[in-house]
Structure 1
Amino acid sequence: MLKTVIAAAAFLAAGAAAAEPLKFAVTDIEGLEQLTQEFGAFEAALEKITGLEVDLYPVSSRTAAVEAMNAEQVDFVLTGPAEYVVIKALAGPVIVAGWQRPDYFAQVVALADGPVKTVQDLKGKVVTFGSVGSTSQHLGPAQALADLGLEPGADYEAKIVGRNVAVQAMINGDVAAVGMNFGHLNKIRAAFPDTAFTVVARGRDLPNDILVARADLSAETLETVRTAFVEHGADLMAAVLKGDDNQKYKGGFFLTGIQDSDYDYVRAMYKTIGIDTITDFVGN
């Protein structure tokens, strides 16, 4: 009788564990309120499509996301390319799907009527980058210059400066060029309507944002979620686009053929800025 009771208790405990909601985190959003505003509709759509219960799980930082994944407190993490390669090294997650951002590339911008006409004109000058460790504001623009033969420190002076401040400094003649992405260029053109800008270096399209799962998540759950992106991608994307900040994904797709090697270009960016061993987030 005692063995029966113990077995029944173990069965119920296992069922309760299996019924635990899946936790979904996003590395660049802090606080449950903002996370719900941006991904509440996606959470509901994913639950409806998969039949699984999903809870949004706010994390205070990229490091906190890694710690939560390693502690099995979070099951899925949506992150950017620069963050992914660090998370891969520290937590060994499994790729679920790439979240494509159309026109997601880095560039280096100068004044259209200024002295910088080509990348070679930046030699010996100051080039600024924004948001240290950002794929499209720091690593990507630095790599775009490296791809064209200019190395930070050796060929130009690299500084981290907020974008609008940097652009004003460029207008004032204090810096030669500013690294940013395509969306940022559109914003500064709106913010500085009396100034003409030109792109002197454009990098290749950057790797996608990426949804990863903790390494020990059950194969069945992983396949259920991945299948949802394959078979119901349009519905899930429509839900994602309910968030104001998620408009960066408008026109994009979920891609499930993503490989870890697709992010070797990002690993090269870290080397370009002098980081050979990727075991921590830049700027921490």
Structure 2
Amino acid sequence: MKPFVLLCKPWQRMIATLLVGASLFTSSIAYSADDVIRVTGIPDENPTELARKNQPMVEYLEKKLGKKVTYVPVTDYGAAVSALSAGKIDFAWLGGFTFVQARHLAGAEPLAMRDIDRKFKSVFIASTTSGIEKPEDFKGKSFAFGSKSSTSGHLMPRHFLLSQLTINPEKDFAGLPVYSGAHDATVKLVESGKVQGGALNIEVWDRMLAEGKVDTKKVKLVWTSPEYVDYVWAARKGLAPELVSKFKDAFLNLDPKDPQQKAVLDLQGAKVFVAASQADFDSIEKVARDTGLLK
């Protein structure tokens, strides 16, 4: 399989990766039983942080759905898309780009997004010793994206580099860009000096700053991107409409006045959740096609 993945075109490599992920995932998890709801999310941060954020949410969903809810971690973005598409996961927290992939592969349905996801942003950061003072200065420097399938860590930063900064990632950096795999990992690559610049999710950047997890003597913010649509809860095709409706309503009805529900909102980085539609992600699909990441 590896030689095929390396030799074929970018869009073919993406599909091949998703199929491999589905095969690996299938071998480790059984089909979802009617009394167990399986959810997952793209691994955009380290496993410890994801576990901290998701446990209160799982407990809340069990109360609202009246069923056992299991959060199933996956190894990478492609595995989340594959699991949802193959019916091994019922609901998945996806980025805009991974959702577009899932709806093309298997008709995934968007349900709910955070208030911040309609006006999401990426940040471009740099080492304080890099000599980078403005966005154009990333040209000629080493650079890191997050996962290749990340909306805020790759797709949209690539789009802004090409369309607004006239920087071609494959030609204008000092060597090919590095893919860290996760937003917090990008920060640490820049902080360590392994790369001079990088792009990531603004929510992760702001939280890492607030929690003192960034050495601001070594890393600085250079540029914040324009707004775009990003994360969403999506349902796999074929679920009972009643279950899909209850899952969606569980998020739309989160009450910030209720301490336990406010904790769920806070950990998810939201004040409220709002309904999502297919049309919300048409702009992301266009960018994915324009950049050649989706055919």
TM-score range normalised by the length of the shorter chain: 0.5 to 0.7
SS in structure 2 at match of 1:24: strand
Determine which of 225, 228, 237 is the counterpart of 1:203. Answer: 225
8 A Cα contact 1:35 1:58, kept in partner: no
What is the CA deviation profile of residues 14-65 of structure 1, one whole-angstrom value per residue up to 9, with x for unaligned ones?
Answer: xxx99533322223289x9987654333223223234x31321414344444
8 A Cα contact 1:25 1:58, kept in partner: yes
SS in structure 1 at match of 2:38: strand
User: Which structure 2 residue ranges, 5 or more long, are not aligned?
Assistant: 1-31, 181-185
State how far apart, in whole Å, the 2-side matches of 1:114 and 1:65 are.
35
State how far apart, in whole Å, the 1-side matches of 2:251 and 2:236 are.
17
Name 1:3's counterpart in structure 2: none
Q: How does 1:115-264 map to 2 (within 5 A)?
A: 115-123=131-139, 125-133=140-148, 134-153=150-169, 156-157=172-173, 158-160=176-178, 162-169=186-193, 175=196, 177-182=197-202, 183-184=204-205, 187=208, 191-195=214-218, 197-199=220-222, 201-234=223-256, 237-240=261-264, 247=267, 249-256=268-275, 258-264=276-282
State how far apart, in whole Å, the 2-side matches of 1:159 and 1:18 are.
42
State how far apart, in whole Å, the 1-side matches of 2:226 and 2:285 are.
14
AA in 2 matched with 1:240: V
State how far apart, in whole Å, the 2-side matches of 1:146 and 1:41 are.
40
8 A Cα contact 2:81 2:98, kept in partner: no
State how far apart, in whole Å, the 2-side matches of 1:33 and 1:191 are.
17
Q: How does 1:37-116 map to 2 (within 5 A)?
A: 37-50=52-65, 52-61=66-75, 62-101=77-116, 104-110=120-126, 115-116=131-132
State how far apart, in whole Å, the 2-side matches of 1:115 and 1:36 are.
37
Greater radius of gyration (CA):
1
**Range with greater deviation from structure 2 (112-121 or 201-210):** 112-121
8 A Cα contact 2:62 2:69, kept in partner: no
Q: How does 1:13-52 map to 2 (within 5 A)?
A: 20-28=35-43, 37-50=52-65, 52=66
User: Which structure 1 residue ranges, 5 or more long, are not aligned?
Assistant: 1-16, 278-284
- CA root-mean-square deviation: 3.9
Change (3 A) 1:109 1:23: closer
SS in structure 2 at match of 1:204: coil
Change (3 A) 1:271 1:47: same
What is the CA deviation profile of residues 75-104 of structure 1, one whole-angstrom value per residue up to 9, with x for unaligned ones?
Answer: 211222232121222121111111344784
State how far apart, in whole Å, the 2-side matches of 1:206 and 1:22 are.
30
8 A Cα contact 2:95 2:232, kept in partner: yes
SS in structure 2 at match of 1:98: strand
Q: How many pairs are equivalent?
A: 248
State how far apart, in whole Å, the 2-side matches of 1:36 and 1:116 are.
35
Change (3 A) 1:195 1:26: closer
AA in 2 matched with 1:180: L
AA in 2 matched with 1:266: I
TM-score normalised by structure 1 residue count: 0.68
Identity, in percent, stands at 19
AA in 1 matched with 2:293: I
